[in-house]
Structure 1
């Protein structure tokens, strides 16, 4: 049986919330997740490439005879890109972020890019806050930090002379 020896009353979970609509719904940015920035930049790159591929596909289809099948194929490619983007945004910022932000299940690529561009300043601010917190906590200049590093020889000398290390 485990014995409780204490409890942490308040611990910063690292979640920073950004209001995304007039109803007060929020998107979450986790500054404690070391993969967040990488996943966000990967999404940004992936979505840009997907948009380029979609544009190339549309340009290719423009030279062909316009049929309902060609229109449907183009629409399907566009919807697939937007579905994948929605899923990745929801993974980054919390389940249902796209639905809460845009009011539709699958937002179009313009909405997605506007959302991403508007989130960048909030992401920058939250990770700047994280950096400042780390600097305060682990800076050599903080109160209680050792002001001077002692060499191995100094440590051995202190140990041998009985002086506290």
Structure 2
């Protein structure tokens, strides 16, 4: 019987059927199994990427919607405040900053008056000589000393010195 099996084995080997490469077959089967799993994972990844992209688009749309809603909910959008005076020739009103709505009354307690200094001397011309020395003028707490000499000792010269100070 051993002779028959040897002959059968020889016959199979000569046809190439008798040799079975187990290592190669195991490698091919393992690669096929891994390839199927890889394809499955890649398909799942594509689905998740697609969903993530959709969620990102939805998030952007909702953020735009949120900013539009915020401007609608802002009370300043529909309630612009303005200011007016009953007599614009006497007083003017203007809205600045963050005003508080309301009606306000302004009471004038004293009107401004022109300030005039008088002297016993009167001048007939702006070119008359006034005198020489130092003229001190304080404006807003800042003192300005003007030197009056022969180059500017007339009313016209003093006016020019004051205006250029």
Q: What TM-score, normalized by structure 2, do the two folds share?
A: 0.24
Q: What TM-score, normalized by structure 1, do the two folds share?
A: 0.24
| Greater RCO structure (CA 8 Å; 6+ sep) | 1
